[in-house]
Chain A
């Protein structure tokens, strides 16, 4: 029923041009070449010519490839039967299961009316003091993990996912190493969480451009679950691969790059995805945790930089630990006033002292004499790193706060901590 075009006029990178009529912007097409089939999407219309990005890549395409326009933008089927399943980056089964059926949902749909959002109010407990105490994670938050390639960001994502009390977990892999995919799958399976998870996995072996679909598919499915009152956690790893795929298309389309070759709309593109995180007025929620690897460990690189301006904070993973500086949960104050009354006092006091400790370390490395105060800070810093920062520590928030007081009392006089007197009076541990 749809028109088929027998000729491709122009091939550059993973973009092809076809002379066609009646084509609509962002419409999907199926292209059949000698090499096989691929989905493609209209990304520009000019007169009689449509430019399409080819998700499976245009390598090996010939001008006689057949293009069949499908008359609609990308859609994914949605139903409860998705739970427990694994798909590719373009939503085909990866697990030898049946083709999914269900109500078709458009991906990349409109954004939520801000008037229908509510203020996030539920803490997500992780058992990790660097998160629970210092940068509390909140339901409906969008938060990336900034890390150099090689840091254990995927295990951290998996750990938070398993610890968090959520109804549905959706994992979107972009350029995921096959081992990492298996790690996620096995971890979810062993803990019994696979049955409430859906996986959309684009691996490093798949065509690069195909990963562009992953965040939109995951979030469209997440939205459907959230509208049915579920608390959904979406894990996206690695968003830098997504941004690089955007860059590739932009370069092919000869767009004027802004910084380091990335398109000028990188910010809007990323925001369109991250802003899908939401706590609905009278329905469920979507929380997004994403890995963003930093090329060259450089946070000013356009991908982490734009991401930081969009997300509600970030966790810096460095040397296998969550760094207190730079790490930030912007939503923490929505919940940390209601946990325990000393939460904020401990959070601010301990971090300011840790900042002083880092300065002392610097002085020490320059060979300066350590004052009595410096020595206190050194003792404190060592304990903080070992008992709070180490990712193997797994204790509830309240235990972590108690531990904080103990460390402070072992190292300092009350007035040295900068913590409000009211809290010192109440919580400062009595000396034995």
Chain B
């Protein structure tokens, strides 16, 4: 029999309940108002009292109202049909909620995440007598472009023998597809859906590998200068309006991965709507199918319940782990991790815990580290590789990176894409600061060229700083040209027009070719009569190169433009 209790206090979304019996930390409970049940999670237990954060608006709750405890941790459903879906932080499917409740989210309405009616074409992959363990594939169903593995439920311990396996044919989610016997002789049925508690990592792999292969995002400044690796982690801190969300939106479209999971965590609903409405109409050039078929959106935006915001990032990463277990490469984009940290802060404040810096709880750092640790490139039992790459935005108060969430995140990620207000104000998009940002992962371009480019960027910035002190007249022509070269590289390569069909996404092949070409320009010894002549030359060169960026690679105009740029360089006495 499940434990029950009574409300003794309500403080915002935090309630306190007095209970009889056993209650577990992080267990799900429901607070009742008449017919209505509001889902909540136990966040602290003190004697006979449990503090619960309610995943809903608590208006109308009263002292004395009943609370029922479920004994289950907060869990999600895993099975075919997750892709292309839009869920809230607790995995309620939003379109289905809309069909049932209309324009507004109605509290206390919970729907199953996956369709029970839909039929799937099942093909077995094991036979009677085979030995399997949790996470092994029992059979497959096609889910869009993927072969979706129906696996031994992750919670099954130890080795199992296949007693029975369903033959090929159509199955519904809850149909039994296999019967397994564990070492103690207990037999259990397996369907195509399983549940897993979101706060517990799925670690059913043989080993974790070091992320070494680039994950191509088609954003030049990222792939070339501050690359991301499959199975790696990165963060994008930046003040509001600097371009965090746009950068993630671009990445969600163009990234070369199998599956993208978007966790819209505590920010604007409108931004999710763009993805939700556009992706079904955009084709993924890699597969020729719509982008939606490789995407799942977890949407818990800023006006949705705060406690579910925290759950949303865990829901997202659990879905990512599920697909990684099938040998797929998954990219998880979380926007913004600061909102989740703030949700922790709100909860901690209501629990009257001793606050740390800026009132964030003292355990913030370990919670953030634990989340990013769920990324990784892994080798599965059958030898295949799977990966989860996590990219999280950070929204620091006042745009100052010297704050707890940014600092805790920087300690654990492999790449840092710091957005700068100065760059976004000057419309230098993407506004990733080329001097402050860093990455521990390998680039797609030639290392020697890269070293040269970094050197020019640094020296160019130094000259720029110096000119602020001594003026243009106090700067030598050579230094001035270094400055112009740095500005040129910035304007034509680091900056990228997200809204241009061609410039918006640069393949790694094109990056290699163009970057090598630009490196030759940077090396070319150019001669100018004076600074005005140099400036005017680089203005024309920039103009020509930016136009080049908007031309399809391998088109005639692309080749013509390349020749035009070469001619310009020759004119200045250089040679490329």
Binding site for B on A (CB under 8 A): 21-27, 44-48, 73, 108-120, 140, 227, 255-259, 264-265, 267-268, 271-272, 275-276, 280, 283, 300, 302, 305-306, 308-310, 312-314, 325-326, 328, 330-331, 333, 337, 344, 348, 351-352, 355, 362-363, 366, 368-369, 371-373, 415-416, 418, 420-422
Please determine whether B104 and A420 come into contact, CB atoms closer than 8 angstroms.
no
Q: Pick 11 A–B contacts, CB within 8 A, sort by A.
A: A22-B64, A24-B59, A44-B11, A110-B57, A112-B104, A115-B86, A256-B359, A348-B427, A369-B471, A418-B542, A418-B546
Given contacts A313-B241, A333-B499, A415-B543, contact A280 B358 (CB under 8 A): no
Closest to A314 in B: B241
Stretch at the interface among B154-162, B171-179, B273-281, B450-458: B273-281
Chain B contacts of A227 at CB under 8 A?
Answer: 103
Select which of B106, B239, B276, B425 is within 8 A of A115 by beta carbon.
Answer: B276
Chain B contacts of A265 at CB under 8 A?
Answer: 12, 306, 342, 346, 349
Closest to A281 in B: B103
Chain A contacts of B339 at CB under 8 A?
Answer: 267
C-alpha spacing A115/B269, complex, angstroms: 9
Select which of A112, A115, A268 is within 8 A of B346 by beta carbon.
Answer: A268
Please determine whether A325 and B531 come into contact, CB atoms closer than 8 angstroms.
no
C-alpha spacing A300/B103, complex, angstroms: 35
Min CB distance B540 to A, Å, is 5
Please determine whether A46 and B9 come into contact, CB atoms closer than 8 angstroms.
yes
Please determine whether B58 and A25 come into contact, CB atoms closer than 8 angstroms.
yes
C-alpha spacing A257/B60, complex, angstroms: 26
Please determine whether B9 and A45 come into contact, CB atoms closer than 8 angstroms.
yes
B window 491-548: CB within 8 A of A: 491, 499, 531-532, 535-536, 539-540, 542-543, 546-547
Chain A contacts of B349 at CB under 8 A?
Answer: 255-256, 264-265
Chain A contacts of B499 at CB under 8 A?
Answer: 333, 337, 344
Given contacts A23-B63, A300-B399, contact A368 B473 (CB under 8 A): yes
Other A-B pairs beyond A25-B62, A111-B105, A255-B349, 16, CB < 8 Å: A21-B63, A24-B61, A48-B63, A113-B97, A113-B102, A114-B273, A259-B397, A267-B302, A275-B302, A300-B400, A308-B240, A333-B499, A366-B471, A415-B540, A418-B491, A420-B550
Please determine whether A312 and B270 come into contact, CB atoms closer than 8 angstroms.
yes
Given contacts A119-B274, A310-B302, A348-B427, contact A47 B240 (CB under 8 A): no
Chain B contacts of A371 at CB under 8 A?
Answer: 472, 531-532, 535
Please determine whether A114 and B272 come into contact, CB atoms closer than 8 angstroms.
yes
C-alpha spacing A337/B345, complex, angstroms: 41
Please determine whether A421 and B547 come into contact, CB atoms closer than 8 angstroms.
yes
Min CB distance A317 to B, Å, is 16
Chain A contacts of B97 at CB under 8 A?
Answer: 113, 115
Binding site for A on B (CB under 8 A): 8-12, 57-64, 86, 94-95, 97-98, 101-107, 239-241, 266-270, 272-274, 276-278, 299, 301-304, 306, 339, 342, 345-346, 349, 352, 355, 358-359, 395, 397-400, 425-427, 468, 471-473, 491, 499, 531-532, 535-536, 539-540, 542-543, 546-547, 550
Please determine whether B103 and A120 come into contact, CB atoms closer than 8 angstroms.
no
C-alpha spacing A374/B345, complex, angstroms: 50
Chain B contacts of A268 at CB under 8 A?
Answer: 266, 302, 306, 342, 346
C-alpha spacing A120/B271, complex, angstroms: 11
C-alpha spacing A355/B102, complex, angstroms: 47
Min CB distance B214 to A, Å, is 29
Closest to B9 in A: A46
Select which of A112, A302, A312, A351 is within 8 A of B397 by beta carbon.
Answer: A302
Select which of B86, B95, B303 is within 8 A of A275 by beta carbon.
Answer: B303
Closest to A113 in B: B98
Please determine whether A355 and B104 come into contact, CB atoms closer than 8 angstroms.
no
Given contacts A112-B269, A113-B94, A328-B241, contact A368 B63 (CB under 8 A): no
Closest to A73 in B: B59
Closest to B343 in A: A268
C-alpha spacing A73/B270, complex, angstroms: 28
Please determine whether B63 and A47 come into contact, CB atoms closer than 8 angstroms.
yes
Chain B contacts of A418 at CB under 8 A?
Answer: 491, 539, 542-543, 546
Chain B contacts of A416 at CB under 8 A?
Answer: 536, 539
Select which of B62, B268, B542 is within 8 A of A22 by beta carbon.
Answer: B62
Select which of A48, A314, A351, A362 is within 8 A of B427 by beta carbon.
Answer: A351
C-alpha spacing A255/B11, complex, angstroms: 11
Chain B contacts of A48 at CB under 8 A?
Answer: 63
Given contacts A111-B303, A371-B531, A373-B532, contact A257 B62 (CB under 8 A): no
Please determine whether B400 and A312 come into contact, CB atoms closer than 8 angstroms.
no
C-alpha spacing A265/B345, complex, angstroms: 8
C-alpha spacing A272/B460, complex, angstroms: 45
Interface-central residue, B105, B268, B358, by most chain A CB under 10 Å: B268
Select which of A110, A118, A355 is within 8 A of B277 by beta carbon.
Answer: A118
Please determine whether B303 and A280 come into contact, CB atoms closer than 8 angstroms.
no
C-alpha spacing A119/B103, complex, angstroms: 15
Min CB distance A235 to B, Å, is 20
Please determine whether B358 and A369 come into contact, CB atoms closer than 8 angstroms.
no
C-alpha spacing A267/B267, complex, angstroms: 10
Min CB distance B556 to A, Å, is 16
Chain A contacts of B86 at CB under 8 A?
Answer: 114-115
Given contacts A119-B274, A280-B103, contact A420 B547 (CB under 8 A): yes
Chain B contacts of A257 at CB under 8 A?
Answer: 359
C-alpha spacing A417/B338, complex, angstroms: 39
Min CB distance B481 to A, Å, is 15
Please determine whether A112 and B542 come into contact, CB atoms closer than 8 angstroms.
no
Chain B contacts of A337 at CB under 8 A?
Answer: 499
Please determine whether B276 and A114 come into contact, CB atoms closer than 8 angstroms.
yes
C-alpha spacing A421/B471, complex, angstroms: 32
C-alpha spacing A333/B243, complex, angstroms: 13
Please determine whether A369 and B473 come into contact, CB atoms closer than 8 angstroms.
yes
Given contacts A119-B277, A264-B349, A265-B346, contact A113 B240 (CB under 8 A): no
C-alpha spacing A306/B398, complex, angstroms: 8
Min CB distance B38 to A, Å, is 11
Interface-central residue, A21, A120, A325, by most chain B CB under 10 Å: A325
Closest to A51 in B: B11
Given contacts A368-B471, A372-B532, A415-B543, contact A275 B240 (CB under 8 A): no
Chain B contacts of A373 at CB under 8 A?
Answer: 532, 535
Given contacts A44-B11, A283-B103, contact A264 B276 (CB under 8 A): no
